[in-house]
Amino acid sequence: MSSHIILPPEDDDEQSHQGEEDEEETSVRRGPHDQTAAAAKAALPFSASCVRISRDSYPNLRALRNASSVSLADAAYVKISEGDFGYVLDDVPHLTDYLPDIPTYPNPLQDHPAYSTVKQYFVDEDDTVPQKVVVQKNSRRGVHFRRAGPRQRIYFESDEVKACIVTCGGLCPGLNTVIRELVCGLSHMYNVSKIYGIQSSKTFQNGYKGFYSSNYLPLTPNSVNDIHKRGGTVLGTSRGGHDTKKIVDNIQDRGINQVYIIGGDGTQKGAYEIFKEIRKRGLKVSVAGVPKTIDNDIAIIDKSFGFDTAVEEAQRAIDSAHVEACSAENGIGLVKLMGRYSGFIAMYATLASRDVDCCLIPESPFYMDGEGGLLEYIERRLKENKHMVIVVAEGAGQDLIAKSIATSAQQDASGNKLLLDIGLWLTHKIKDYFKSKKMEMTIKYIDPTYMIRAIPSNASDNVYCTLLAHSAIHGAMAGYSFTVGMVNGRHTFIPFYRVTSTRNKVRITDRMWARLLSSTNQPSFLSQKDIDEASEADRLANRPPLPTVVSHRAANSFEQSASSSANGEI
């Protein structure tokens, strides 16, 4: 059995690189194209040819498999296109990959009064966005993603579209805005009238579980007109409950042909499984994922919607903690913020506030006792300033709690490890320390977690949500299945496996974390060994899962893009 990889046609320029590619050429055998393959090639949305690579022929297959989380079973869904000077397109699946003869239609936007006057409104099929923007003069062009936006030809007629929208996982500012803009965008831009929310009013099943119900919620621009002013999600949400075959059965039975899925990395994994089952059945259905995580820990993308709102609201909690701390003798304000695996909210809220004396995040280990420990630093800071503000992400210090308290590894319905309350644990530890020192101290513990999750999105996030929703609509109408996201300031279509294979984390060896340490004047709590381990962890975490069929040149481009993936850190 063979896997497929999309490669560009060879040209005369490649002859100059023949010496370094001998090993590749011995492992790649080009077979004759049959009529089906020729039709698929003609219908592909970019200029490419199919290359068949035997799983047993690639010399480094085992090494690539070991370094990759993309299984051989998933290789058929991965599309890699190579070009000159180390250019690699990590492409997204398209309907024509398995339905080569489906017709196309002119985009109705070309006659839309609001859009027809915009010059070059439609995106060129060859437009791509680089994953890495900081390069040297001899750098390879690196990994690119397909640029989002409206296409001149689409694969769905307006009256045949039957779209559904589902929200999964925890709450996040902006969910209602995304729902609103999906409904209004489909209706106003593409004249779609059959739009449904996945929600059961009878069984109160939401999220993926809502697919199992017998009734959906019809959505119109009028029904969603002002929902962006409210927090939460009007469709409801839930964790878990993902049964791929039951969900696709429901999609098929109801004639749904566009599925918009809003949720975090676990939800996007579910979207990927839904797409694979849809493709196996040969259904004409596009799956568009809109990544949602208040922690900003989705890989590849610049940021997730709701993050700016969360930082803004978190800063208000820090301001309150600062007032409490300043108003008491040796006052300490302790604020716990969201951040199970990534401390972005804590870091950015700290930098925005400038009133924080110590910020603790999951990526940066710390210790409590002894010289240079947290307790010693708190004591010194109180003697100097008479008050102190500490910000801690919920996932920080879990190893310290586990050492002092017997814990069991429990998980929620999404498979996330249930965390112990680091804020409460720190509060008791600090009180006990100063009691042993016979030193007066007052500590106020503030946990604004659910207040932050439940608020409406701010102006910046509202605009961002609109652009994400519109990009998702344009991609689905053009026949792609993908996760949408902003990469280096440009909206792109990203393969599902890229956003679910790893997490975005604060890099404590980068300048942004150094700026925080300079702002708070806190010790780093890190030994040289910790720094070396963090650097290696960053390198491995940012390395994308290499498809088992990727060429040696493409692998080098993936590695180069991974070597400097923190483009947002200036």
Pairing between β-strand 194-197 and β-strand 358-360 as defined by DSSP bridges: unpaired
Longest dimension (CA), the chain: 85
CA atoms within 13 A on the CB side of 429: 21
- State whether the Cα torsion 33-37-41-43 is positive or negative: positive
- Quickly list DSSP for 158-182: GGG-EEEEEE-SS--TTHHHHHHHH
Enter the tokens of residue 159: 């009256």
The token pair that represents 86 in the structure block: 């180390």
Indicate the burial class of 258 (C-beta count within 10 angstroms; 0-12, 13-18, 19 or more): buried
Q: In this structure, how many other beta carbons lie within 10 angstroms of the beta carbon of residue 149? A: 19
Catalytic residue among 91, 295, 302, 355: 295
Distance of CA 305 to the CA centre of its chain: 10
Alpha-carbon dihedral angle through residues 469, 475, 478, 479, given to the nearest 10 degrees = -120
How far is Cα 141 from Cα 86, in angstroms, rounded to an integer?
Answer: 5
Q: How far is CA 88 from the centre of its chain?
A: 21
d(CA 452, CA 473): 28
Q: What share of the chain is helix, strand, coil (3-state, %, to 5)?
A: 40, 15, 40
Total Cβ atoms within 10 A of residue 341: 20
Sign of the C-alpha dihedral computed for residues 183, 488, 68 and 283 taken in this order:
positive
Annotation says 308 is catalytic = no
Pairing of strands 490-494, 142-147: antiparallel
Which amino acid does the sequence have at 250?
N
Active-site residue set: 295
